[in-house]
C-alpha cells in the first residue's frame, strides 16, 4: 500500500512540477509521514526494497532518504534500519495506515491586524489599474528608452565598487545637485543640495516623514478629498488622520479643526489631488501661520507640478516658508517612467542628518548607477527636453478631452457641471451636483471599458462632493475622440 501511494504521488508531482526523481520521492515520502501513512517510530523499507518496488535506481532512493534524514524526518539506527522520527507532525485529518482517524486540531483562521485590514481594504491601489482614462497615469511609452539605456550602460561600465554598496549620504551627489538646481529655478524652493534626500518616490518620502516627525497616535491633517497614497502612509505608521475640507482656494481649516491640533499637515497646494484646485496665496500664508501656531510640520507634495498648461508656474509653498517647517517632496515617475522608482525629499537643514541616518537604517538605499544615469540625463538637458515634449502632448490630449466633454458644460447655476483642475496635471475633475450618484456613473462607464474615478471615493468625511476624476495622460488622441463623448453621454443622462 505504501508503494502504491508513493508511486501515485510521484506521478502527480512529475506531471505537475516536472521535479527530478529524487525530489519526487522525497516529497512523496514526506507526504506519507505527514498524512500518517508512515506513523511516528515506524520502520522505513530498506533502500534496496524501495528501489525495487518503485523501479528506481538505488542512488535516487538514497538521495531522497538522506535529505529527509538531514531535515529531521527520519532517524537511522545502526544495525536496525531507518525509522520515522517520533516528533514528525501530522497534518490535520490525517489517517494512520493502521486505522483510526487523527483528531483534527482547532485552527484559528489567519487574520490581519486592525491596521492591516484598513491598509488592505481601504483606498485600494488595484482599482487604479492602467487604463486610458485612469487618473494619475503618465504615458511612459514616449520615454527615450534608447538614450536612457546608453546612459545606464555607460555608468555600469564606469561603476566603482563603492557605487555597488548602500549609500549613506542621502543619494548620489551630482543627482542631488541637479535636483536642487531644478527646484531652485523652476519651483522657487529655497534649498542647498545637501538638503535633498533621494528616495524611491513620494510614498517613501511620506513614510520617512511620518516615522521621524510624528509618534503613534499623533494627529495628521489631510485634505478632504484626499490622495489615497498619503492616507496609507499615515495609517501604516499609526497616526490619526483628521480630514480638513478644501474649497476653490485649497485647504480651509476651521475653529473645529484647530481643536484637533496637528503634528503633521499634508497638502498638495499647486494642484490639489483630486480636485485640481490651486491654493491661493492668502490661504498659503494662513496655512503657514496655522502650522507655526500648532508647532506642526507641513508636508508639501508637489504632485505633477511640471505640467502646467495655462498661466505662469505656481511657486512652491516651501518658497514662502520662513520658519523651516515645510518638507517638500516630488517624484520622477510622472515625468520619466514609474518603474524608475526615484523621487526626492527636501528637508530643513536641522533635520538633514537625522533623515539621512534614518533613511539608511530603514531602507538601505542604493541604485547608485541608476542615480548617476539620471543625474547625467538632467545635466545634459534631456530631462528638460522630455518635459517639453510631454507637456505639449498632454496639452493636446487635455484640449481634446475638454472638447469631448463640451456638451455637458456651459450650463448656468450652481448645480451645472463644471471642470476644475484642467490648467495643470494629468487629469481633470468634472464636478457634478451633490444629488448625482457619481459612483453609479463610474460603474456604468466601467461596463463599457472606461475607467474613471468617482470624486466621492476620495472623500474622507465630506458628503457634498460629486464628480468624475478623468485622466488623460495615458489616453491617445484617437481614444479620447472615440470615448470622450461616451463619458459626456453618461453624465448628461445622469444629470438629466
For the domain that residue 37 is a member of, what is the CATH number?
1.10.10.10
The pLDDT of residue 123 is: 58
The answer to whether residue 338 scores a pLDDT higher than 80 is yes
The pLDDT of residue 100 is: 44
Task: Answer with the one of 357, 385, 413 that is the final residue of a domain.
Answer: 385
| Domain identity same for 69 and 155 | no
Give the pLDDT band of residue 90 (cuts 50, 70, 90).
Answer: low
Segment 321-345 mean pLDDT: 92
pLDDT tens per residue across span 348-365: 999 999 999 999 999 998
- Provide the whole-model pTM: 0.80
* Residue 241 in domain: yes
Task: Answer with the one of 385, 411, 440 that is the final residue of a domain.
Answer: 385
Q: Nearest to residue 263, comparing CAs of 247, 283, 284, 242?
A: 242
The pLDDT of residue 334 is: 83
Give the pLDDT band of residue 93 (cuts 50, 70, 90).
Answer: very low
For the domain that residue 401 is a member of, what is the CATH number?
3.90.1150.10
* Lookup result for grid cell 543640495: 193
Name 331's bridge partners: 343
Of all residues in the chain, what percent carry a pLDDT higher than 90? Answer: 58
The CA distance from 364 to 359, in Å, is 7
* Residue 345 in domain: yes
The CA distance from 330 to 346, in Å, is 9
Helices (H) and strands (E) counted in the chain, each on its own, are 16, 14
Q: Which domain holds residue 255?
A: 120-132+141-385
Task: Answer with the one of 385, 416, 433 that is the final residue of a domain.
Answer: 385
* Residue 106 in domain: no
| Domain identity same for 79 and 32 | yes
* Lookup result for grid cell 496655522: 290
| Domain identity same for 426 and 483 | yes
The CA distance from 86 to 188, in Å, is 72
| Domain identity same for 341 and 294 | yes
Angle, CA 258 vertex, CA 254 and CA 263 arms, to 5°: 130
| Domain identity same for 276 and 409 | no
H or E element: which one contains 483? helix 477-495
| Domain identity same for 185 and 309 | yes
pLDDT tens per residue across span 96-151: 444 444 454 555 667 888 878 777 776 554 455 556 787 777 787 778 889 999 99
* Residue 349 in domain: yes
Q: Nearest to residue 310, comparing CAs of 402, 172, 234?
A: 402
| Domain identity same for 377 and 394 | no
Among the residue ranges 176-180, 226-230, 291-295, the one predicted with the least confidence is: 226-230
The pLDDT of residue 109 is: 67
* Residue 95 in domain: no
The pLDDT of residue 108 is: 65
Count of all residues that appear for the chain in the document:
496
| Domain count for the chain | 3
The CA distance from 241 to 233, in Å, is 10
* Residue 455 in domain: yes
| Domain identity same for 227 and 178 | yes
| Domain identity same for 298 and 195 | yes
| Domain identity same for 246 and 223 | yes
| Domain identity same for 351 and 303 | yes
The pLDDT of residue 166 is: 81
| Domain identity same for 314 and 420 | no
The pair phi, psi for residue 264, each rounded to 5°, is: -125, 150
pLDDT tens per residue across span 242-289: 999 999 999 999 999 999 999 999 999 999 999 999 999 999 999 999
Segment 190-213 mean pLDDT: 96
* Residue 23 in domain: yes
The answer to whether residue 411 scores a pLDDT higher than 50 is yes
- Asked if 323 and 346 count as a contact pair (C-beta separation under 8 A), the reply is no
The CA distance from 378 to 185, in Å, is 14
- Asked if 94 and 39 count as a contact pair (C-beta separation under 8 A), the reply is no
* Residue 215 in domain: yes
The CA distance from 218 to 239, in Å, is 5
The pLDDT of residue 122 is: 67
Amino acid at each position: 500500500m505504501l508503494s502504491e501511494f508513493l508511486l501515485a504521488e510521484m506521478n502527480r508531482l512529475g506531471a505537475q512540477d516536472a521535479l527530478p526523481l529524487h525530489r519526487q520521492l522525497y516529497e512523496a515520502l514526506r507526504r506519507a509521514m505527514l498524512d500518517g501513512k508512515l506513523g511516528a517510530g515506524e520502520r522505513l523499507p530498506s533502500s534496496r526494497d524501495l528501489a525495487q518496488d518503485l523501479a528506481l535506481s538505488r542512488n535516487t532512493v538514497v538521495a531522497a532518504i538522506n535529505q529527509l534524514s538531514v531535515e529531521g524526518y527520519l532517524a537511522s539506527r545502526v544495525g536496525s534500519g531507518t525509522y520515522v522520527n517520533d516528533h514528525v507532525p501530522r497534518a490535520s485529518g490525517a489517517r494512520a495506515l493502521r486505522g483510526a482517524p487523527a483528531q483534527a486540531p482547532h485552527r484559528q483562521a489567519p487574520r490581519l491586524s486592525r491596521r492591516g485590514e484598513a491598509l488592505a481594504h481601504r483606498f485600494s491601489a488595484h482599482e487604479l489599474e492602467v487604463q486610458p482614462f485612469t487618473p494619475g497615469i503618465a504615458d511612459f511609452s514616449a520615454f527615450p528608452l534608447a538614450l536612457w539605456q546608453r546612459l545606464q550602460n555607460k555608468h555600469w561600465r564606469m561603476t566603482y565598487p563603492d557605487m555597488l554598496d548602500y549609500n549613506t549620504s542621502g543619494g548620489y551627489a551630482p543627482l542631488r545637485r541637479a535636483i536642487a538646481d531644478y527646484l531652485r529655478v523652476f519651483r522657487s524652493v529655497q534649498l542647498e543640495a545637501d538638503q535633498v534626500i533621494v528616495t524611491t518616490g513620494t510614498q517613501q518620502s511620506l513614510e520617512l516623514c511620518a516615522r521621524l516627525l510624528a509618534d503613534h497616535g499623533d494627529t495628521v491633517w489631510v485634505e478632504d478629498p484626499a490622495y489615497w497614497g498619503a492616507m496609507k502612509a499615515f495609517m501604516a505608521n499609526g497616526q490619526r488622520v483628521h480630514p480638513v475640507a478644501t474649497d476653490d482656494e485649497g485647504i480651509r481649516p476651521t475653529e473645529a479643526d484647530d481643536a484637533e491640533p496637528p503634528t503633521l499637515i499634508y497638502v498638495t497646494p499647486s494642484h490639489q489631488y483630486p480636485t485640481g484646485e490651486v491654493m491661493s496665496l492668502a490661504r498659503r500664508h494662513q496655512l503657514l501661520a496655522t502650522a507655526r501656531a500648532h508647532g506642526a510640520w507641513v508636508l508639501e507634495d508637489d504632485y505633477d507640478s511640471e505640467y502646467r498648461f495655462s498661466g505662469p508656474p505656481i511657486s512652491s509653498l516651501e518658497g514662502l516658508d520662513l520658519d523651516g517647517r515645510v518638507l517638500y517632496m516630488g517624484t520622477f515617475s510622472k515625468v520619466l517612467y514609474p518603474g524608475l522608482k526615484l523621487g526626492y525629499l527636501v528637508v530643513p537643514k536641522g533635520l538633514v542628518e537625522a533623515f539621512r541616518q534614518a533613511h539608511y537604517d530603514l531602507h538601505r538605499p542604493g541604485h547608485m548607477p541608476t542615480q548617476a544615469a539620471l543625474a547625467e540625463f538632467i545635466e545634459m538637458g534631456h530631462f528638460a527636453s522630455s518635459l517639453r515634449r510631454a507637456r505639449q502632448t498632454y496639452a493636446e490630449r487635455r484640449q481634446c478631452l475638454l472638447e469631448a466633454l463640451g456638451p455637458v458644460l456651459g450650463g448656468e447655476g450652481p448645480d451645472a457641471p463644471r471642470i476644475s483642475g484642467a490648467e495643470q496635471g494629468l487629469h481633470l475633475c468634472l464636478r457634478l451636483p451633490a444629488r448625482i450618484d457619481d459612483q453609479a456613473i463610474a460603474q456604468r462607464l466601467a461596463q463599457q471599458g472606461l475607467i474613471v474615478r468617482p470624486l466621492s471615493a476620495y472623500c474622507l468625511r465630506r458628503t457634498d462632493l460629486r464628480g468624475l476624476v478623468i485622466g488623460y495622460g495615458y489616453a491617445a488622441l484617437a481614444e479620447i475622440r472615440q470615448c470622450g463623448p461616451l463619458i459626456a453621454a453618461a453624465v448628461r443622462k445622469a444629470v438629466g
